[in-house]
Structure 1
């Protein structure tokens, strides 16, 4: 998985930011950001969480679940916020994202959820979990997302044909579908053929790309 330095490099690349613009978002010097991007300096866990907040990633929280053997002997511990982290320790960072309800997607995404689920995924934007509530994405073979699973959605990724997305058509509830493109038009396709494939209407919003399905991959 990515460590903090790799995540910053990906964030900079995907958002098409110069090193100076990234430094401005992080409220630090360009030189300081350069050290992080090159991996020559490692921030503390407290600093990581402060910079995550500065980037506006309100769902992201860094935790270290595995510590180095030469720091403590206990298998399950956490670093104190003032303890500097090594590159190896940062590779075990995990993050908690809210489990939202489909009703939460009717308007602006809420800032928090009653439940949280942990994963090692580092997102490009705000990420959240959603429960799969019907069999529209349950395929008899191949890629399938059965009812009852949790999907992790990253709102910072660009939607592309072939990806599983959360889409909201004007005046309708959000749905989980596969985005496809035919004849220059975007379509929302269920993996269960008993459900119809529909055209992306004008004003269709994409609320994120599915990056993980809990319990499958």
Structure 2
């Protein structure tokens, strides 16, 4: 809930909107919005998503997950002392997750689809229109150091500034989008595979960074 509140407050500031204007957009009272943003009341999950859409973030979808805490000791650590009745129940906590589309590499060379059937969730709150990609090939797989092997999913955030050392999705004129590490050497920038058996590519003036990789995980 704290992440959702912080995100909504941030977007209100960016858009120059008041709580009253947000309330009008989602069809509730200003007092109701005030309670949400103070954390004194929790809106239903469909209303949380409605607020995100009203603030221009339809790519963010919030879900609630139940995370069971199965022992009395764990419950006490999470929630403090519990009574006998509470000890008979399975404690749970609410987690906020964001869902982003899983795109095919070919979709990066054209307009982004309006909707995606396949999504993957994470607790990462993107700064841009983030998306997942599945790794193909072994160019970013290494025996030592950082490695992103084939079939892993990577989360790409176009809102994160690219800087040397970052893993990025990029393309140059006449080339398809590629996954590489942006590096700098002798005043020149290169796109470097993590697999040392492949050569690095000199960045041209037409280099386009599609996003910075901010998460990765294996296949379920």
User: Is residue 133 of structure 2 the alignment partner of residue 127 of structure 1?
Assistant: no
Give the CA RMSD over aligned residues.
3.5
Q: Match of 1:95? A: 98
Higher helix proportion (structure 1 or 2) = 2
* Unaligned ranges ≥5, structure 2: 24-29, 70-85
Q: TM-score, normalised by structure 1?
A: 0.73
Aligned mates of 1:116, 1:162 — CA distance in 2: 28
Q: Structure 1 residues 159 and 38, CA, compared in 2 at 3 Å: closer, same or farther?
A: farther
8 Å Cα contact 1:5-1:37 kept in structure 2: yes
Q: How is 1:172-191 mapped onto 2 (pairs within 5 angstroms)? A: 172-191=175-194
**Conserved in 1, the CA contact under 8 Å of 2:154 and 2:214?**
yes
**Equivalent in the alignment of 1:81:** none
* Number of matched pairs: 194
Closer, same or farther: CA 156–38 of 1 in aligned 2, 3 Å: farther
CA distance in 2, matches of 1:19, 1:59: 19
Aligned-partner Cα distance in 2 for 1:45–1:27:
20
Asked whether 1:21 is paired with 2:15, we answer yes
Give a deviation string over 1:7-43, Cα, whole Å, max 9, x none. 346xx4xxxx88263427x9528x9888766656654
The offset of 1:145, in angstroms, is: 0.2
Indicate the structure (1 or 2) with the bigger Cα radius of gyration.
2
TM-score for the superposition, normalised by structure 2: 0.72
